[in-house]
DNA sequence: TCAGATGTCTAGCGGTGCTAGGATTCCGTT
DNA sequence: AACGGAATCCTAGCACCGCTAGACATCTGA
C-alpha cells in the first residue's frame, strides 16, 4: 500500500507546484497573464491536469489567496507583537499591511480584489482567512477601546481605509507625494 | 454642406447609443456580460462599428465612467450644498457617495475599480473626473481645517475609507449588520 | 499474463476582443 | 443623368480564453 502513498505524495507535490507557478506568474506578469495554457506549460503538463487538482481557474486563484492570507497573518502578528501601546500597535499593523500590499501586489489582489468565491465572513472559511482578519481585528479592537469607539464599526472602517488606499494608489488614483501625509492622517485618526 | 453635419450628428447619436447600451447592460447583468458582440447586437449594428467610435472595449468603459463621474459630481455637490457645518457637510457627502455606489454598482466599478486607462491625477484628465474629485476634496478640506489635519492626506484617507467600504462590502467581506456602526465610526473619526 | 483501474494527452467546443477585405451605399462632379 | 471615388458597413476570420470529451498509454493486483 506504500505505492498509493507515494502517488498521493506526488499529487500533493504537483498541486503545490501549480499554486507556486500561478503565484510567480501573477507576480511577474500580472493575473491577466495567468492562463490555464501558460500555467500548464509552466508545470510541464497538459491543461486537463490542472482540472484534476482544481475545479477551475478560480479555485487556483483561491488557493494562492489562502496561501497569501497565511503569510499576511504572520506578518501582521509579528508587527504587533512587541508594541505595548494599543494605538501604536495598530499603527504598526497598518504599516505592515500596506508594506505587504506594496511588496506582493498580485498576491494582495488574489486575496482582496479578484472576484473570488471564497466564503469570507462565514465560519466555513479556511483558517488562514480567519487568522488574517483576526490579525487586523484584534489590534484594531484594542485601539478602539482606548479611543472609545465601537470596535466592530471601527475595525471595519480602518480596514476599509487601508484597503482603499492600496487599491486607489495602485490604479494611480492617489498622489504618490501624499503617501506620507495619508499615513500620518491614518495614525492621527485611528 | 448640411449633409456632413447631419452625418456627424447621426454619428454622435450612435455614439451615445453605444455608451447607453453598455451602461444599461452592465447595470442589469454586470460588466462581464458586456461583450462587443452583445453590445453590437443591442445597438443593431455589427461589431466593427464599435471600433469606428472607440479604440476598443476599454474606451467604451471609460466613456461610461466619465458619464458616471459627472453624475456623481452633481450628486455630491447637491449633498453638501445646504449644510453649513463643515463636518456635517462632509458627512452628508460621504452618505451621498455610499448611496451612489449602492445604487449604481456597475457605474461605480467603471469609474473606480475596473482597470482603466483614464489618466486620473493628471491635468489632461476629462473635466468630469476633476469635478468628481473636487466634490469630495473641497468638503473634506473644509472638514480637515476644522479638525486640524493636513488637508491632502486627510482627504485621500477619507476617500480611501469610503472606497474601501464600497468594494469590501460588495464582495461580501464586510458584515452587513455593521453597516451602521461603520458609518457612525466614519462620522466620529472624520 | 492479463483485465481493469489510473493517469495523461490530443483535439475540440463555444466564447472573447479585435481586424482585414470585400460589398454596398452615398456623394460631388461632369 | 450617369459615373468615379469616398465613405460606410458587414462577413469572415485570427489568436486567444476556460474548460471537457474521449482516445491512448501506463501501471496495478489477481
Contact A185 B121 (CB under 8 A): no
Is residue B4 scored above 80 in pLDDT? no
pLDDT band at A3 (very low <50, low <70, confident <90, very high): low
State residue A22's pLDDT score.
98
Predicted local confidence at residue A1, as pLDDT:
55
Give the pLDDT of residue A117: 66
pLDDT bin (cut points 50, 70, 90) of residue B1 is: low
Reported pTM: 0.93
pLDDT at residue B123 greater than cutoff 80: no
- The per-residue pLDDT for range B8-48, each reduced to its tens digit, is 788 999 999 999 999 999 999 999 999 999 999 999 999 99
Return the HEC string of chain B. Answer: CHHHHHHHHHHHHHHHHHHHHHHHHHHHHCHHHCCHHHHHHHHCCCHHHHHHHCCCHHHHHHHHHHHHHHHHHHHHHHHHHCCCCHHHHHHHHHHHHHHHHHHCHHHHHHHHCCCCCCCCCCCCCCHHHHHHHHHHHHHHHHHHHHHCCCHHHHHHHHHHHHHHHHHHHHCCCCCHHHHHHHHHHHHHHC
pLDDT at B115 over 80: no
Mind listing the pLDDT tens digit for each residue in B155-168?
999 999 999 999 99
Query: What confidence score (pLDDT) does residue B117 get?
Result: 66
For B27 and C25, how far is CA from C1' in angstroms? 36
Residues in B whose CB is inside 8 Å of some CB of A read: 112-113, 115-116, 119-121, 149-150, 152-154, 156-157, 159-165, 167-168, 171-175, 178, 180-186, 188-190
Query: Is A49 near strand C, with its CB below 7 A from some atom of it?
Result: yes
List, for residues B88-99, the tens digit of each pLDDT value. 999 999 999 999
Instruction: Output the average pLDDT for chain B.
Output: 93
Amino acid at each position: 500500500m506504500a505505492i498509493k502513498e507515494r502517488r498521493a505524495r506526488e499529487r500533493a507535490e504537483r498541486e503545490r507546484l501549480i499554486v507556486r507557478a500561478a503565484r510567480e506568474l501573477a507576480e511577474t506578469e500580472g493575473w491577466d497573464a495567468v492562463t490555464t495554457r501558460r500555467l500548464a506549460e509552466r508545470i510541464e503538463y497538459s491543461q486537463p491536469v490542472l482540472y484534476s487538482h482544481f475545479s477551475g481557474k478560480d479555485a487556483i486563484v483561491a488557493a494562492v489567496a489562502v496561501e497569501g492570507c497565511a503569510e499576511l497573518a504572520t506578518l501582521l502578528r509579528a508587527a504587533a507583537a512587541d508594541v505595548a501601546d494599543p494605538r501604536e500597535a495598530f499603527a504598526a499593523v497598518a504599516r505592515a499591511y500596506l508594506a505587504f500590499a506594496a511588496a506582493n501586489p498580485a498576491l494582495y489582489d488574489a486575496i482582496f480584489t479578484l472576484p473570488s468565491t471564497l466564503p469570507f465572513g462565514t465560519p466555513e472559511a479556511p483558517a488562514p482567512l480567519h487568522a488574517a482578519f483576526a490579525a487586523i481585528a484584534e489590534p484594531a479592537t484594542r485601539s478602539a477601546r482606548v479611543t472609545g469607539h465601537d470596535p466592530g464599526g471601527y475595525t471595519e472602517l480602518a480596514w476599509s481605509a487601508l484597503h482603499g488606499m492600496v487599491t486607489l494608489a495602485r490604479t494611480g488614483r492617489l498622489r504618490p507625494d501624499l503617501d506620507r501625509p495619508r499615513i500620518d492622517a491614518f495614525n492621527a485618526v485611528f
